[in-house]
Chain A
Amino acid sequence: DAKTTQPPSMDCAEGRAANLPCNHSTISGNEYVYWYRQIHSQGPQYIIHGLKNNETNEMASLIITEDRKSSTLILPHATLRDTAVYYCIVRPHGGLTGGGNKLTFGTGTQLKVEL
């Protein structure tokens, strides 16, 4: 599976947009970009995923560059409850190399939202 690189930590003021970057320069054509977050001592929570088009849901937006080598997760109006470790994961879908639910988590980005 392709590896991802994320900054270890970021700070954000409450109410402002949090933009979390992720590099995945070795991503393959059949690999999707997934984002999860883990609030302290809880199980990871799915946020969003995409292949090459920008995606938006009620939690966040995902912007994937045209060459697919990097992406940005955007939390439009961060709150204190968004303080968590955010994981960017690339994951193959289908085909002979489809990885099923074997996700490779990196070290993630610790986002701290402050007043």
Chain B
Amino acid sequence: KAGVTQTPRYLIKTRGQQVTLSCSPISGHRSVSWYQQTPGQGLQFLFEYFSETQRNKGNFPGRFSGRQFSNSRSEMNVSTLELGDSALYLCASSLDRIGELFFGEGSRLTVL
């Protein structure tokens, strides 16, 4: 079956712009989580959505937001981009809120 799909895979933005990243979970999975990976901070949890509701949020500023749609697809948005937002953004899905997490290949964001 198809894995977790993230789009776009690569993108370049400039400071002050905003960006929207998309994640399509594995069919039947209802939980979607987002992570940020940078060389300095490693893998850090952003937020988790389940049944269209945010269930957990990491320690990130309000510029980072997300949502989940009724078909479990999810988007995350970063407004007023800063250079430090350059990172690999990973989406992961699971059937419910425990058990195995399946990660996508990520969206690599470069902010100039």
Contact = CB atoms under 8 A, between A and B. Distances in A.
Interface in B28-47: 31, 33, 35, 42-45
A50 to B, nearest CB: 13
Contact of A42 (B50, B97, B105): B105
B101 A46 contact: yes
A101 B104 contact: no
Given A102-B33, A102-B48, A43 B105 contact: yes
Interface in A24-77: 36, 41-46, 49
B90 A100 contact: no
B58 A98 contact: no
A94 B98 contact: yes
Q: Is the interface of A mostly helix, strand, loop or mixed?
A: loop
Given A101-B56, A102-B33, A43 B106 contact: yes
B contact residues, range: 20 to 34
B42 A101 contact: no
B90 A43 contact: yes
A93 interface: yes
B33 A101 contact: yes
A101 B92 contact: yes
26 contacts: A43-B92, A43-B104, A44-B92, A45-B103, A46-B101, A46-B102, A49-B100, A87-B43, A93-B98, A94-B98, A99-B56, A100-B31, A100-B33, A100-B48, A100-B56, A100-B97, A101-B31, A101-B33, A101-B48, A101-B97, A101-B98, A102-B45, A103-B33, A103-B35, A105-B42, A105-B43
